[in-house]
A and B are shown apart, each in its own frame.
Chain A
């Protein structure tokens, strides 16, 4: 269906709900086409191609809500979905904070946000396969120790999202995505290590060349070979951009409106207070053209915007949708995010740590004895308390230089102290996803090893 047809369907569905007794309604329709190819040891391993679409509705009857979804967009499927949502409003409780945004809050960013590039759809499967092959070949060819591979993938996605509500908002936008990734395996003696690198963009022109992706992936796998476990000690810890980004994800959970109103975040009740070092400024910006966290309106029809979350270490704003804003006596930050069904949750736009002035090399050079973390595994972060304990791998730093690879260790601390302890922030900010961070140095954490 065209964007206009989908938008018209969303509006009709809202009308049906209102005729059925809803006092408010929100309808989301999403449609998408995906293509994936995986190449392994230069042979095509998988080809996957398909399209799908589905709709979801949330209705209000007074202050009660109900919601439903369906993959059946025929008249009958939509009628059933609307009836299901209305049925469910009968079992929920009056919630004084439930409702749609204020009419004046609705709207969209006008103009082209660069979310859709037609070249993604024009590329033939054979060309996508070739890109993956070139990337994997670059990895395999870099060094004899790269003797195996988990493969290389080229993925594309194009989709359309439509949102309409009973306050008269209707909007739709198209987005595209493509990515190239490689996972080579390095082996030397009894040591076997895998790593990966990827490049992703809205359009083909934004991708790194396949050879660069392959080479970086191979270099990352190679430098892990022969990793050892170190003694347990407290040392400065450097997060490279890939792992620093995970700290931003932890911060997002801590400023997430739902965690905040439930007191389930170590940052609840701390607006206006210093929560991090002065080097730490975090922004959520849904308006940056062409990036992954950009959108003209959020999933309640509120325009995307720029919100300073932490400024020079001071907590300035939480990220809120209409519901959590009302619970907290604040205003929505345009951060509503939802799947197809259920009340809106919260998501971020481009959520990033502002870059600092030092190069990553300068940061490494400033450390006499410390740990440079390139990989984190596990889920050991407690947002309620800030307690942090994760599995880690990376390079040991001696006298300002990488000395040897390390694995099978943990890094632990508390996010309160970790954020306060951010002593240096790098200049190497890159947007490889909707969260981004440059290299950063934390004064001290516990490395758990032997």
Chain B
């Protein structure tokens, strides 16, 4: 088998025999399934503030997580020591969840077929620091040069390179090398004597540093500065129900909050999601088709295999408004007797996997984006958002607009201040009356939190019109 190609196996002298022994120990007290997740993570971070490179750090963390599943029960233990004694000890601790005769591991372990959705020859983490330092310096200069009213700029550059090795008692081994990079810029603007306003932008993905040749630091810097300047002229946002038009790209966070989380299989097998038991029902307007796709090349939310060793795939969540399926991990698919969908993810070796999104977006429709805005006599156009959150059980979600404009008689008139939008997951998308042909994915800075675990994700959406949504402004 191809363990010799695994960075982890080579660096720590892990053999197939070792993996079989650890898995055997994990199933020594029973259980139906066990897996091992070895992780070697290197990270770097550079930050620029006050036009100086103020902080730089790098580091390495290494560990292994051992999981045993017995029915609906999960035992989990981890170790930051990869010596056989330490891994065996973790396996024995995880094994305590099960009660029964020892189970047999399927051997020999076979390596799963491989593909590479992020063929990055040299990961940014493996390069010298000079190019990466230059990125934050260029961003700082460009943001300050955008407009004399910009008075503070921060630029953060972060990258990581994660090597993983996943072995399962079902007899499979997969390994992956997962690069990630990201540049973020924050700018503050102020009129003479007036209050400051901020703008933020950034981007990245599972890419090499050549990414920043196309999406330059100047691009993100100018975008952050532009947003700050726009906010200087912002008035009060409306309060109450109104027609909302979402611009393309990052506003796709609507889908992440309104439907994505509610379709994660763990909530649905427990019956605690507002979407539980509703597969086949119309939950959105027929114009809406929403997919979660972990296979898009070089995207932040993409993975060759999920963190349980399952290849990622393209999953249709809502098709022409009808709910089609859930996002599954191993445990939930086993209990619901559904197929795995490649959505079993975890923050790292210290964490138990669970169903998570990858890149979640709505397919393009047929409307002209400008026509969509022209169709609204009174409403709100939201171009950019900050974060969002959802209450899975009642389905209520919010997402916070960071750049929005009043629409009056089919035209964008003036910018308004930050306001949260609130809606109900199974209801909100029924009011989608127009879908643009301009699908865009976000720039690649999304982070999703669930149960204390953060994972990188992507979102996307074309321009859409929602006839009714509550806007949380002040007038």
Chain B residues positioned under 8 Å from A412 (CB to CB): 237, 239, 419-420, 472-474
- The segment from B90-98, B307-315, B318-326 that touches chain A is B90-98
Chain A residues positioned under 8 Å from B392 (CB to CB): 194
Q: Identify the interface centre among A69, A93, A413, A450: most chain B CB within 10 Å of its CB.
A: A93
Interface residues on B, range: 35 or more
Do A43 and B272 touch (CB < 8 A)?
no
State in angstroms the CA–CA spacing of A177 and B188 once bound together.
40
A212 contacts the other chain (CB 8 A): no
A362 contacts the other chain (CB 8 A): no
Give residues of chain A (36-87) contacting chain B, Cβ–Cβ below 8 Å.
40, 43-50, 52-54, 56, 58, 65-72, 80-81, 84-85, 87
Which of A89, A192, A227 meets B274, CB within 8 Å? A192
B59 contacts the other chain (CB 8 A): yes
Do A92 and B398 touch (CB < 8 A)?
no
Chain A residues positioned under 8 Å from B271 (CB to CB): 148
Which of B394, B424, B471, B472 meets A193, CB within 8 Å? B394
Do A92 and B58 touch (CB < 8 A)?
no
Do B240 and A66 touch (CB < 8 A)?
no
Given A194-B393, A382-B418, A410-B239, the answer on whether A71 and B54 have CB atoms closer than 8 Å is: no
Main secondary structure of the interface of A (DSSP, over half): strand
Chain B residues positioned under 8 Å from A266 (CB to CB): 195
Chain B residues positioned under 8 Å from A91 (CB to CB): 46, 53, 56, 129-130, 133
Chain A residues positioned under 8 Å from B130 (CB to CB): 91
A380 contacts the other chain (CB 8 A): yes
A264 contacts the other chain (CB 8 A): yes
Chain A residues positioned under 8 Å from B391 (CB to CB): 194, 375, 377, 393
Which of B55, B62, B272 meets A72, CB within 8 Å? B62
Scoring B residues 77 to 100 as 1 if CB is less than 8 Å from chain A, else 0, what string do you get?
111100000000010010011000
Do B394 and A194 touch (CB < 8 A)?
yes
- The segment from A111-119, A161-169, A309-317, A340-348 that touches chain B is A340-348
State in angstroms the CA–CA spacing of A379 and B473 once bound together.
14
Do B58 and A52 touch (CB < 8 A)?
no
Given A88-B129, A380-B398, A391-B389, the answer on whether A342 and B240 have CB atoms closer than 8 Å is: no
Interface residues on A, range: 35 or more
Chain A residues positioned under 8 Å from B213 (CB to CB): none
Given A88-B57, A193-B394, the answer on whether A45 and B93 have CB atoms closer than 8 Å is: no
A448 contacts the other chain (CB 8 A): yes
B76 contacts the other chain (CB 8 A): yes
Some 25 contacts from A to B, beta carbons below 8 A apart, are A46-B73, A46-B75, A47-B73, A48-B352, A50-B77, A52-B79, A58-B57, A66-B57, A69-B59, A69-B61, A87-B129, A88-B56, A91-B133, A92-B52, A92-B54, A92-B56, A262-B152, A378-B389, A379-B389, A387-B418, A389-B237, A391-B389, A410-B420, A412-B419, A448-B470
Chain A residues engaging chain B, CB cutoff 8 angstroms: 40, 43-50, 52-54, 56, 58, 65-72, 80-81, 84-85, 87-89, 91-95, 98, 125, 148-150, 185, 191-194, 224, 227, 229, 231-232, 262-264, 266, 340-343, 375, 377-380, 382, 384-385, 387, 389-391, 393, 407-414, 446-450
| A68-B58, A379-B389, A412-B472 known, 11 other contacts, Cβ within 8 Å | A40-B270, A47-B75, A50-B90, A72-B62, A92-B52, A262-B154, A377-B398, A379-B388, A385-B196, A410-B471, A412-B237
Chain B residues engaging chain A, CB cutoff 8 angstroms: 45-46, 49, 52-63, 72-80, 90, 93, 96-97, 129-130, 133, 151-152, 154, 188, 190, 195-198, 237, 239-241, 270-272, 274, 350, 352, 386-394, 396-400, 417-420, 422-424, 470-475
